[in-house]
Structure 1
């Protein structure tokens, strides 16, 4: 068995299944939980980190606000296009399924590979480091947080959240509701305090807002990656369609409700920050909301980093929940190791996919540079969006009779495709070394596909060794292939 070929898995019996007879992902995600998952992923580290990332590039408050609005509108339009794709092809797997349907296996695999090695583990690694920074910064107010402490706490977080996702999907989705409430409380505190300061006349930071603006196209493109980071997450529910109770009705509703809520909250929060902090103070702070709390909350300042840390953990939980399903679907289609298409026969969760996410995220954490990770994740995300929207336009002509319960004007995905491609192209101009590194990682995926998915007749010793490894993992994790056939429980 090669990397991408299916193997014959051992049949594992379950005496506690009470005759249900099928091992499959269950439909258990409602509209409320869907909104909570999306908001839980979007409102995480972005609003507490991205103000610095955007402001450092565009240099002025006014232009940073323009970028926040532009990024919000851009992501809202992307979400509308994804709503059409998700209800047209209501299968877990998200953009991987859309690219594969339009352009075939090779580009579908490249999109899957970008998620596998860039977007998912890099996003989780950055979020873990942000979690550690916010939680530990109050203990080191006048110096840098020790790197070893950051790495250890970040590792503990991802291990805990992956463990929860492995044991019970319902726990993970219900935890999203709790975490979403915590992050909205943190944002409410920032907004209320900030506007109290503004009401008292603290408006000097909101004057001459476009002074010293940087209009360089390359810098604006890199600033967009911080915007991607702040708004990213609206697509993750598309990875969970097989587990939604009513995907045709609830997916577009969940996307629209979530995006509207997030855009409004982000704009108000950015104004509130400037009621207390100057742009210079924001740029100097590694944890903006902690600095905000220290200046305004007195003895209760300890509450802010705790709420934000919980918020960031929601981002990690949402990414793990969504992306594990993407890798599960990719393996079912024979484009990732077959063991990733297996689920635990007791907990009905894709444990092998979750474990590989854990291992790759821990590896990326050692880079230690949060903004480098954000830009790498943004590059991969913009590249995939280019493929997705090009495929959406192509499918309108290739398969015009597909049932589309939601149908956006065709010029919209065409425009978004051009914008996404322009952002990627400008990144090569502005950040050539990082862009080439990301491109090499993507090209490695193409080589992997050709060697492992297209190479027939592999030597027998390779097949035998892979079968042995797969069988060992099955026995260790108690996982089996999930399909529509009946499984007899002894």
Structure 2
């Protein structure tokens, strides 16, 4: 990009390639995510708080150790198949935006906007805010060993972490992916510690939890469905890599490889970690524990048991980082397509990162961080994500008929996305049955998004004064974002804008 006379290079440019200085440019997201980065991103997001904090949902409903292991594997295979379906879509439509892009191509603007809105309001900021709270809780837990930590430091530390991770993602994608690699290594060390200790106890003959392992199993459809829902949550996050396909080096090769390698490793780690837990703790002790990994550490690690809460916090941090990295690209693409304010589609030409999109995520996450009932919102998130999956798998099936000649480097049997779509529909129905209040509130928020779409996107004949005012605000923001510090001071002192 050339320099403008008398000023520095533009700091932000539109993702569409146009600036308000009437200068044409082609600034796009750079391909700088390699295979090992992609594997670290998926594992860093999927292996979050679930396996460390509350891996008891499946055990609670199956009522037996043996059947719970079977459900862990089945849930993992379901999510692996879902990830493979996303790999077909990602290599057939190699554009950032993930599920939003696929639904838009299949069904058009309104369904795509619903996907965008659900992720914008329910999935992304609520998840980041809750994980920030969880990070703070486990970081300061050793300071309050015998009581619950106070709310103020938890909210402060959680908010500080959110700002720090957003800053890293704003500065450099490579920094964000390198942070993800470091965090993934840390959480694998935590899991490795748990597994090694568990295997040591098994070697000592501590196998009481595995005797009569299928006794009292609950094989009812309701128990299996609820167990499946718990496993579905524990494995979630595998879809985030599709949000940044534009930045993956050789996506046709690296996207499916990253998904296959990472999800297989996650299934193995989850299964072996559960075996390790049960080598030390009885099923009853696991069910009574609010954080299994901490209880496990208290029982086995003696004076260094304080290490486990810190490792859990690092694990949660990785999930937050991957979420911010992936969803910022989704909102950027939505704005680029005219379904969000155009300022969100702007990219910093030096760092090649969608800074406005990241800042919106930060603001929404900080707002949710102030909530005293954040976990109520997290339950709504499950409804939102399952709804998105229904639409994505339906889009995959429909695209086979709508665009039969679309190049598909990976082409799966059509029965697979049909099956996954039906399973996801069952999960949505189950959510309404099990969590009606959260589900209907989430449904109301989706309906509100439809109204906003009709007003903001479809209503073309808006009042002239409203359109002009929005254009002025956009121009001001864009111009201010391009100024150097001295130029900004000059504009402010002379009241130019």
What is the TM-score with the length of structure 2 in the denominator?
0.89
4+ residue segments displaced more than 6 Å: none
Question: Is the aligned partner of 1:94 residue 2:98?
Answer: yes
Conserved in 2, the CA contact under 8 Å of 1:135 and 1:309?
A: yes
Counterparts of 1:57 and 1:172 in 2: how far apart (Å)? Answer: 38
The equivalent residue for 1:429 is: 433
Contact 1:50 1:227 in 2 (8 A): no
CA change 1:375–1:215 in 2 (3 A) is: farther
C-alpha distance in structure 1 between counterparts of 2:440 and 2:257, whole Å: 39
SS of the aligned residue for 1:51 comes to coil
Match of 1:65 in 2: 69
In the other structure, the counterpart of 2:112 is: 108
* 1:23 correspondence with 2:33: no
**1:407 match:** 411
Q: Summarize deviations over 1:415-468 as a string: whole Å, max 9, x none.
A: 000000011011111211111011111111111111111001111222233223
State the alpha-carbon separation in 2 of the partners of residues 386 and 283 from structure 1. 32
**In 2 relative to 1, CA 476–46 (structure 1 residues): closer, same or farther, beyond 3 Å?**
farther
Cα distance change of structure 1 residues 459 and 141 upon mapping to structure 2, 3 Å threshold: same
In structure 1, runs of 5+ residues without a counterpart are 1-5, 14-19, 480-490
CA distance in 1, matches of 2:136, 2:229: 22
Q: Deviation per CA, 1:76-129, whole angstroms, max 9, x where unpaired? A: 110111111000000000000111111111111111111111111122122222
- Aligned residue among 162, 186, 193 for 1:158: 162
For 2:468, the equivalent position in structure 1 comes to 464
Deviates most, 147-156 or 24-33: 147-156
Matching residue of 1:348? 352
Alignment counterpart, residue 292 of structure 1, candidates 296, 301, 304: 296
- Give the whole-Å Cα distance in 2 for the aligned partners of 1:378 and 1:156: 26
**2:272 corresponds to which of 268, 274, 296:** 268
CA contact (8 A) 1:36 1:177 kept: yes
User: What pairs with 1:267-416 in structure 2 (closer than 5 Å)?
Assistant: 267-368=271-372, 371-416=375-420
Q: Which residue of 2 aligns with 1:10?
A: 20
State whether residues 344 and 478 of structure 1, in contact with CA within 8 Å, keep that contact through their aligned partners in structure 2: no
Deviation at 1:376, TM superposition (A): 2.1
TM-score (norm 1): 0.90
Please give the alpha-carbon distance, in whole angstroms, between the structure 2 residues aligned to 1:373 and 1:61: 31
Partner of 1:16: none
Partners of 1:102 and 1:394 within 8 A in 2: yes
1:483 maps to which residue?
none
SS of 2:461's equivalent in the other structure is: coil
Deviation at residue 27 of structure 1 after TM alignment: 1.0
2:189 to 170, 185, 188: 185
C-alpha deviations, 1:26-60, integer Å up to 9, x for none?
11111111111111111121211341343444444
In 2, Cα distance between the equivalents of 1:47 and 1:454?
44
How well do the aligned residues superpose, as a CA RMSD in angstroms? Answer: 2.3
* Corresponding residue of 1:41: 45
Unpaired runs of at least 5, structure 2: 1-15, 484-497
Aligned positions, number = 468
1:301-322: CA deviation from partner (whole Å, max 9, x where unpaired): 1222222211111110001001
Contact 2:243 2:326 in 1 (8 A): yes
Query: 2: CA distance between counterparts of 1:477 and 1:268?
Result: 51
- Taking structure 1 as reference, are residues 377 and 262 closer, same or farther at Cα in structure 2, changes over 3 Å only? same
- Measured in 2, the distance between the counterparts of 1:66 and 1:242 equals 37
The question of whether the paired residues in 1 share the 8 Å contact of 2:368 and 2:374 is answered with: no
Instruction: Indicate the SS of the match to 1:343.
Output: strand
**For the structure 1 residues 139 and 220, does the alpha-carbon distance in structure 2 shift closer, same or farther, using more than 3 Å as the test?**
farther
Distance 2:362 2:176 in 1: 16
Alpha carbons of structure 1 residues 415 and 255: separation in structure 2 relative to 1, 3 Å: same
